[in-house]
Structure 1
Amino acid sequence: MMELLLARLRAAGFEAESVRPAPGGVVAAAGMARLRDGSQVFAKTLRTAAPDLFEIEAAGLRALRELGGVTTPEVLAVTPDLLVLEPLPPRREEDELFWEELALAVAGLHGGVVGERFGWHRDGWLGRLRQDNTWDGDGHAWFAQRRILRWLPEPLVEEVLDREERLALERLCAALPDLLPPAPPVLTHGDLWRENVLSGSAGGPALIDPAVSYSWAEADLSMLWCSPRPPAAGRFFEVYAATAPLPDGWQERMRIYHLRELLSSIAHDDNTRECAEEVREIIAPF
């Protein structure tokens, strides 16, 4: 795939001499390309056809930067099969100040861009599967239909969750108005976990790989709360809440919001057994 990425960079006008593979990447093959003048760019190409994936990713990066004031990599080129970005250094994983700066940036994003409806003007992607962003004025109905129940027809989810478990998810969704407090739709990154955090050129935090929509702030936070994070990030939520106060009980709500990510992981065949067990724990009362 690096040979294909190199060829597509050259076809797009980049004088690329070599490409070093980047770790991870479920959907795209990615790497750091060295150009003839000695500079570098970060580039991705598709493993499978998804003609608008890179266009949507680039638009999401621009929205976070231009509307939300968040640092994101500059988009250098985008085509149906190629995305070229400004290269960014790794996140300062063990630097407490870095994670506090991230908390302030995310609080600013959520507090600074408030919408009138939940959704986005176009559907997006979460991994290699579509993210349904159809507009809705009712946050509970939108989250139930577009972020939880949307995953039930996926073949791997149908295979893993039995009929009673699927009914329990539906009952949980019906109870969302009693489980989650009403909150306004705010601009969210949509896939906010540690691997989508890097450092910007000035050293502060930068965000990559968004799945943007107007959603609940707490739904965005659930990704960081429920996925592994380094000890240095221990004050992230305290610093966030000092800027954008969180309603009481927010810690207990995080796992409900995280159902979207768990179901998506099952649908992508990613850590399926553990994710399924966690889903079963969350839906057990229902």
Structure 2
Amino acid sequence: MTVELLLARLRAAGFEAESVRAAPGGVVALAGMATLRDGSRVFAKTLRSAGSDLFEIEAAGLRALRELGGVTTPEVLAVTPDLLVLEPLPPRREDDERFWEELALALAGLHAATAGERFGWHRDGWLGRLRQDNTWDDDGHAWFARRRILRWLTEPLVAAALDREDRAALERLCAALPDLLPPAPPVLTHGDLWRENILCGPTGAPALIDPAVSYSFAEADLSMLWCSPRPPAAQRFFEVYAAPAPLPSGWQERMPLYHLRELLSSIAHDDNARECAEAVREIVAPF
């Protein structure tokens, strides 16, 4: 795909776009910052072909985070099966300790304000190019095992990367989740909370993009930031998050268990698959 396609679809949707500067990264859509005739800018994404509900679900997730959890998200300017147009947001304040503390408070507020009764979501979503199974379940441990870990074992690249012993160990780990993860209520989670999905809002406060929302364990959101690289300025993030309501003891040891979902998804998307498979084996080794 080229920026010309994105430019054409913006114009077809009524945006007087004059140019588009492609955004780096992205494995699903072509994205870029578009400059309009009046000098204003919008951020837009498009797909090669129409017919997907990906952008509709992304827009709904942004709305849920904002309306239910009070989180700053970009305003959705337009959404169609092949186009998503958002207000442009500046980069995160990477080296600003206060920024990461504000993010911690915002995430704690999201989780505290949205406790529910069931795990899942009212519709399935997307994680990268692949479907996210959000079928409702009253049992969080069974739901996390089935919908967030074992769900990936049938993906071709995961089946190729993990042998029979690896898969059996994952199944034994999932059976033991009631003993490994303390009971916790389902809360609205962003679902893909790594640093590249964190930007600044119009006022400079942290803003979240590219969600994969569901009602899940709060610690599942934390695991994305704990298990992926973060700047030195974020060193107090977890301390600040836990200030309003301390995390159950042993939370650091649980982070890799929640992160299995992300590792298996990365294998399924052929993203650092070899390294992720080794990380999975290390986590399941005791099982």
Q: TM-score range by the shorter chain?
A: over 0.9
Partner deviation per Cα, 1:51-99 (whole Å, 9 max, x = no partner): 1000000000000000000000000000000000000000000000000
Residues 80, 258 of structure 1: alpha-carbon distance in 2 compared, 3 angstrom cutoff:
same
The one-letter code of the counterpart of 2:262 is E
The TM-score, its normalising length taken from structure 2, stands at 0.99
The equivalent residue for 2:159 is: 158
Equivalent position of 1:133 in the other structure: 134
The alignment partner of 1:214 has SS state of strand
Q: Following the alignment from structure 2 to structure 1, what is the Cα–Cα distance between the partners of residues 115 and 178?
A: 20
Paired with 1:48 and 1:41, the residues of 2 have a C-alpha distance of 21
Q: Which amino acid aligns with 2:7?
A: L
How many pairs were matched up? 286
Which aligned runs of 4 or more in structure 1 are off by greater than 4 angstroms?
none
1:212 aligned residue: 213
Find the counterpart in structure 1 of residue 266 from structure 2: 265
The one-character-per-residue Cα deviations of 1:122-171 (angstroms, maximum 9, x if unpaired) are 00000000000000000000000000000000000000000111011000
In 2: Cα distance, 1:254 partner to 1:47 partner: 36
Structure 2 contact 227–256 (Cα < 8 Å) conserved: yes
Shift of 1:244: 2.9
Whole-angstrom CA distance in 2 between matches of 1:272 and 1:260: 13
Structure 1 Cα separation of the partners of residues 172 and 50 of structure 2: 36
Structure-2 residue corresponding to 1:63: 64
> Is 1:121–2:122 an aligned residue pair?
yes
For 1:112, the aligned partner's letter is A
Mapping 1:167-206, distance limit 5 Å:
167-206=168-207
- 1:159 aligned counterpart, secondary structure: helix
Change over 3 Å in CA distance of 1:3–1:261 after alignment to 2: same
Q: Aligned with 1:152: secondary structure?
A: helix
Pairing 1:88-127 to 2, within 5 Å after superposition: 88-127=89-128
Superposed CA deviations along residues 160-186 of structure 1, whole A, max 9, x for unmatched, are 000111011000000000100010000
- Once the 2 structures are TM-superposed, how far is the Cα of residue 112 of structure 1 from its aligned partner? 0.5
User: CA separation in 1, counterparts of 2:154 and 2:89?
Assistant: 37
- Residue 165 of structure 1 aligns to a residue whose secondary structure is helix
Identity of aligned residues (%): 87
Q: Distance in 1 between matches of 2:273 and 2:143?
A: 25
How much has 1:44 moved relative to structure 2? 0.2
Question: 2:49 touches 2:82 (CA, 8 Å); kept in 1?
Answer: no
Shift in Å at residue 49 of structure 1? 5.4
SS of the residue aligned with 2:92?
coil
Q: Which residue in the other structure is 1:86 paired with?
A: 87
Counterpart Cα distance in 1 of 2:49 and 2:278: 30
Question: How many angstroms does 1:48 deviate by?
Answer: 5.5
**3-state SS, counterpart of residue 65 of structure 1:** helix
| CA shift for structure 1 position 50 | 5.6
Secondary structure at 1:38 match in 2 = coil
- Tell me, yes or no, if structure 1 residue 237 matches structure 2 residue 238: yes
Task: Name the aligned partner's letter for residue 63 of structure 1.
Answer: A
Cα distance in 1, alignment partners of residues 87 and 118 from structure 2: 32
Distance 1:87 1:137, change over 3 A: same
| Pairwise CA RMSD | 0.7
CA distance in 1, matches of 2:246, 2:107: 13
Change (3 A) 1:49 1:279: farther
Residue pair 1:27, 1:48 contacting (<8 A) in 2 also: no
Which consecutive residues of structure 2, in runs of 5 or more, have no partner in the other structure?
none
Distance 2:264 2:63 in 1: 28
In 1, Cα distance between equivalents of 2:166 and 2:281: 7
Question: 1:105–1:50: structure 2 CA closer, same or farther, 3 Å change rule?
Answer: farther
Alignment match, 1:42: 43
Secondary structure at 1:71 match in 2: coil
SS in structure 1 at match of 2:171: helix
Matches of 2:138 and 2:151, distance apart in 1: 18
Match of 1:275 in 2: 276
